[in-house]
Amino acid sequence: MANNDSQMVITCLYCHKQYRVDRAKLQSTVRKAHCKACGATFPLPLEDESASRQPEARSEATPAGKRTPRRLAISLNKVGMGKTSTAVTLAAGLAAAGFKVLLVDADPHGQAAPYLGVKPPGGLAEAINGTVPPDKAMVQARENLWLLAGGKALAGLECFAAGRATQSVQIVDRTLAPLEKEFAYVLVDTSPEWDPLTVSVLFYVRELLIPVSMEVMSVQGFGEFLQLVDPIDKLVDGRRLKYILPTFYDPRVKKAVDIHEKFVHVYGDLVCAPIYYSGQLKEYTAGGKTVFDLGTDSKCLQDYEALVKKVVNDT
């Protein structure tokens, strides 16, 4: 946002279309703007915040229909890393920031729907097997946030049966292709199992976010996962590890601090600011809420706001 004595220029964070607005006509309660050029809705910074927030307007945030969305998997073949809570909370945070987001739950445990407090009639399994059109299988969970739910039906899909893995690697890509152009971000929460569905997801996405708790066994699982992913990286053009997210971080535990420091030393900027251990997060997800729904400041909210900002500002 730029301004002169009587007018200000509002720039769409998605397509960079500029609008000149009479400051006197802009109500002080307005917090979002709608771009007539691309149809996107984006947060409207206050004038005294514009200098610090304007860098978030990256071309990478070009809206639906104008570009391929950012396709990001939240993945690790180990339970208890905060994978689903990270996927749901990051999706909610991006949506709250004004981006149109599709969250795909590719986990047969199907926890994303209860985490968001919704009960979809179908989901990814139905979209894959063709019993429900993909656009009818997803459900709107929040403003700007849609969910393609997981569930037990994913474990029984014949297209991922043993012996047909080589035929199934493009199934997720073909299923999501009719949907993805409508979104700025497609986030996929994978199963903790290394199975054909997870492999198909990894062939679809172009960015990886790996949540890993700062514990010895978790680090070992992280290393094993990288070895599994490496052959796929060689086959998928432009696919790369983009984020390593330390989870359940407790600075009072020396081992956790040591492991975090080693991660930063080895992986540098790939390591995100850690998500501190918080019992509140479990309470929120159990109640079908995210930290972005509550409107109250907390350390947990600040942690995820930092993650959202990092993702948005990355090109």
CA–chain centroid gap for 87, Å, is 5
pLDDT of residue 37: 57
Q: Which of left, alpha, beta for 313 (phi over 0: left; psi -120 to 50: alpha)?
A: alpha
pLDDT of residue 35: 67
- My answer on whether 159 and 265 are in the same domain is yes
- My answer on whether 201 and 286 are in the same domain is yes
Report how far residue 198's alpha carbon sits from residue 194's, in angstroms, rounded to the nearest whole number: 6
Domain-embedded: residue 301: yes
Least Cα distance to 92 among 310, 313, 315, 307 occurs for 307
On whether the CB atoms of residues 12 and 35 are closer than 8 A, the answer is yes
Domain-embedded: residue 62: no
CATH number at residue 289: 3.40.50.300
Report how far residue 228's alpha carbon sits from residue 286's, in angstroms, rounded to the nearest whole number: 32
- My answer on whether 48 and 149 are in the same domain is no
Domain-embedded: residue 19: yes
- My answer on whether 229 and 281 are in the same domain is yes
On whether the CB atoms of residues 44 and 10 are closer than 8 A, the answer is yes
Domain-embedded: residue 294: yes
Q: What are phi and psi of 63, to 5 degrees?
A: -80, 180
3-class DSSP assignment, residue 281: helix
Pair type for strands 32-34 and 41-43: antiparallel
- My answer on whether 210 and 104 are in the same domain is yes
Domain boundary among 10, 33, 57: 57
Domain-embedded: residue 85: yes
pLDDT digit string (tens) for the chain, length 315 residues = 444 457 777 776 555 567 787 777 776 666 677 766 555 566 665 444 333 333 343 333 334 344 579 999 999 987 777 899 999 999 999 999 999 999 999 999 999 999 999 999 889 999 999 899 888 999 999 999 999 999 999 988 877 765 555 567 889 999 999 899 899 999 999 999 898 899 999 999 999 999 999 888 888 899 999 999 998 988 888 888 999 999 988 889 999 999 999 999 999 999 999 998 876 666 666 678 898 887 777 888 899 999 999 999 986
Q: Which residues pair with 212 in a beta bridge?
A: 246
**Token pair in block for residue 165:** 């893995």
- My answer on whether 172 and 308 are in the same domain is yes
**Contact residues for 282 (Cβ-Cβ < 8 A; gap 6+):** none
Report how far residue 291's alpha carbon sits from residue 151's, in angstroms, rounded to the nearest whole number: 24
Domain-embedded: residue 119: yes
Map tokens 């396709």 to a residue. Answer: 71
Q: At what angle do helices 83-96 and 299-313 cross, to 10 degrees?
A: 70
- My answer on whether 113 and 182 are in the same domain is yes
- My answer on whether 99 and 175 are in the same domain is yes
Other Cβ atoms less than 10 A from the Cβ of 259: the count is 20
- My answer on whether 14 and 111 are in the same domain is no
Domain-embedded: residue 271: yes
- pTM of the predicted model as reported, rounded to 2 decimal places: 0.77
- My answer on whether 98 and 190 are in the same domain is yes
Number of domains in the chain: 2
Q: Which residues pair with 185 in a beta bridge?
A: 70, 101
CA–chain centroid gap for 183, Å, is 12
- My answer on whether 183 and 238 are in the same domain is yes
Domain-embedded: residue 175: yes
Its domain, for residue 292, covers 70-313
CA–chain centroid gap for 261, Å, is 25
CA–chain centroid gap for 243, Å, is 11
- My answer on whether 157 and 300 are in the same domain is yes
**Token pair in block for residue 139:** 């459900």
